Chains A and B, each alone.
Chain A
Amino acid sequence: MSLDQLYQQIILEHAKARHGSGLAGAAVPDGASTGQSHQLNPVCGDEITVRVATAGGKVSELRWDGDGCSISMASASVLTELAEGLTAEEFRTIIDSFREVLRSRGKVAADPEILGDAAAFEGVARYAARVKCAMLSWVAAEDALGQALAR
C-alpha cells in the first residue's frame, strides 16, 4: 500500500483547513445544551477537546481544539463538517460506521454514502499504529454528544 493511499489529498487538505477548530472563547449557541470531552493519545501526546452542542435533538454545532498529526487533525475537521445538522441517531450511526471501518484492519470498505469525506480514512485502517490518531476526535465527540443529550 502506498503512502498516497494513506495520505489522500482530501486528508492533507482537511489537515490544513481544520474546520471547527477554535473552541477557546467560542460562545455556546443560544438554547443549546453542550457536552465536552478531552481525549489524549499517550503514545504520541496528541490531544483534542471536542464540544458538541445539541438543540431539538440535533447536533447544532461541533467545535474543537487539538494538537496532533495530520491524520488526527484532518479527522476532526471532517467530523465537524459531517456532524452539524445531523440528528443524534444519525450522528451515532456515522460514528459506529467509522469505527467499524477503522478497526477492520482494511477488511471493511468505507461507504461514501454514509461517511462522505470520512471515507478517505479507509486507508488508515491498514496502519494499526495510526487508527487511534483517526479515532481520537470521534471518541471525544461520541462522549460529548452523550453528555449534551443527558443535560
Chain B
Amino acid sequence: MVVTPAHLSRAAATLGNDEVRRIRNDFPILHQSVNGKPLIYLDSGATSQNPLSVLEAEQEFYEQRNSAVHRGAHHLAVEATEVFESARETVAAFIGAGWDELIWTSNATEGLNLLSYAFLNASLPGAAPEAARFALAPGDELVVTEMEHHANLIPWQQLAERTGATLKFIPVDDDGALDLEAAARIIGSRTRVLAFTHASNVLGTINPVDRLVALARAAGALVVLDACQSAPHLPLDVKALDVDFAVFSGHKMLAPTGIGGLYGRSELLNAMPPFLTGGSMITTVTMERAAFLPSPQRFEAGTQRISQAIALAAAANYLSETGLSRIHGWEAELGQRLVQGLESIPGIRVLGPAAGQDRIGLAAFDVAGVHAHDVGQFLDSRGIAVRVGHHCAQPLHRRLGLTASTRASTYLYNTTDDVDAFLNAVADVRAYFQA
C-alpha cells in the first residue's frame, strides 16, 4: 500500500525547515520531552525513527495478512506471499536492482557475514565448480579500508584467517581521506575482493566509488559496497555504481530493526554457495543431499522477516516520495552547518573533511579535555541525543589518535534549529567540565 505523505505539497530542490516541520508530524516519537527539554534526535546514523506509514504497514500486515510465505495454498498465505514479494520489488527498485538480486537479511552485518561465509563455503573441498570464482586460498588478497565499520572488517578478517588469504587495507590520511595512490598500489592481481564503505559513519565522507571500482575491475576483483550510510540518505543505484554486492540496514532508513538487504549481481548470486540452509531454499531433498533454488530464495532459509520487509518497503516509498536527492541536499546543508558551527567553538576538533568540503549530514568530533561519554551525558541533559564512543570503528579512531568521539547525525526530520541547539549546547561543554 502506497500512502503519499501529507508534506508533499511541492518539490523544491531540497527540503527546507517548513517542509521538515511537516515531515516531523509523521514521526510520533519526536514529539516528546527528555530531561524536561524537547527531544532533539541527532543519532539517526545509529538508528533512525519510523514514520506512521511504516508503523501502519507492519500493523496492517499482522491485522489482515499474517501468514507464512512461499507455502500453503490458503488465502492468507497467498496474500502474505504477494505483499512480501511486492516489498522485495519495491526495495530492489529503490537501490536500482532487479527483484531477484535483493536478499533479505537482518541487517548489513548479516549481509556481510553471508558473503564471507558463502566465500568460505566456496573455498572448501567439494564446492561446486561454478563457485570457484569465490574460492580463496593462500596468496589471495582481500582489501578493505582503514575507515571501515567493524561489520565490514571483522568478517573479512575471519575469512582471511580461515582460508589463508591475506587481508590488506587502504590507509586514510590525517584528514580521514582515503589514500588513493596507496589504493592503486595495494589493489593488484592478487586482489580477489575489495570491500569498502560508500559513506563513512564517522568522517561523513563519500568515497570515490568510481575510482575504487575501476581499480578493482582492472584487478579482476569482486567489489562489495557497504551502503549503510548512503542508502538512507542519497539516491543509490547499485547498477550505475557497477558494484558486485552491496549491503544496507533497514533501521537506518526509517524501517524497524531486524531487516536489511544484500544486493548481488544475479549471475554471481546464482553461482554462490548458500550460507544458511534449510527450509524454503531447496528444490529436491533426499536423505543424502539437496539441490538449491536460484536467488533470492537460495539465501533465505527458514521463515523470513515478513512484516519487517513490508515495513522496509513502506520506508523506501516514504523516502522515494520525499525525494532522495532533496533529502541529500538538505542533509548536506545540515552537515555543513554542523561543521561550520563546531569549527567555531574553541577546543573542538572535527573528524573528517573541513567546512566547505563534501560530507553527508553528520559530524564526529573531539572535545579537548572532555571525554566523549561526558559530552554525550551533558547533551542528554539538554534533551539532545547523540552517539558517543568509537562508533564501531576502533582502527579509524586509533589512526586519528583517539579512543572515542561524539557524533551528531541528521536525517530528513531535523531542522536547522536542531543543529543550532546542539551547537549551543556543545559550546557549554568545556566550561561545565572545567576543561
Chain A residues at the B interface, C-beta cutoff of 8 Å: 2-3, 6-7, 12, 15-16, 43-46, 67-71, 127, 130, 133
Given A3-B377, A69-B371, A44 and B434 touching (CB < 8 A)?
no
Q: What distance in Å separates the Cβ of A47 from its nearest Cβ neighbour in chain B?
A: 8
Interface membership of B372, Cβ < 8 A = yes
In the complex, chain A residues whose CB is within 8 Å of the CB of B231:
none
Q: Mark B124-151, 1 if CB is under 8 A from A, else 0.
A: 0000000000000000000000000000
Number of interface residues of B (CB under 8 A): 18
Please provide the 5 A-B residue pairs with the shortest distance between their CB atoms, ordered closest to farther: A69-B371, A69-B373, A3-B381, A45-B403, A44-B389
- Can you list 13 pairs linking A and B with CB atoms under 8 Å apart? A6-B377, A43-B389, A45-B397, A45-B403, A46-B371, A46-B404, A67-B403, A69-B372, A69-B374, A71-B374, A127-B377, A130-B373, A130-B377
Given A69-B373, A70-B371, A44 and B381 touching (CB < 8 A)?
no
Q: How far is the CA of A130 from the CA of B376 in the complex (A)?
A: 11
Q: What distance in Å separates the Cβ of A9 from its nearest Cβ neighbour in chain B?
A: 10
In the complex, chain A residues whose CB is within 8 Å of the CB of B389:
43-45
- B residues 206-252 with Cβ under 8 Å of A? none
Interface membership of B390, Cβ < 8 A = yes
In the complex, chain B residues whose CB is within 8 Å of the CB of A127:
377
In the complex, chain B residues whose CB is within 8 Å of the CB of A7:
374, 377, 432-433
Interface membership of B378, Cβ < 8 A = yes
Q: How far is the CA of A74 from the CA of B351 in the complex (A)?
A: 27
Interface membership of B47, Cβ < 8 A = no
In the complex, chain A residues whose CB is within 8 Å of the CB of B397:
45
Query: In the complex, are the beta carbons of B434 and A68 less than 8 A apart?
Result: no
Q: What distance in Å separates the Cβ of A50 from its nearest Cβ neighbour in chain B?
A: 18
Contact of A3 among B370, B373, B378, B404 (CB under 8 A): B378
In the complex, chain B residues whose CB is within 8 Å of the CB of A133:
373
Q: What distance in Å separates the Cβ of A16 from its nearest Cβ neighbour in chain B?
A: 7
Q: How far is the CA of A69 from the CA of B404 in the complex (A)?
A: 10
In the complex, chain A residues whose CB is within 8 Å of the CB of B390:
44-45
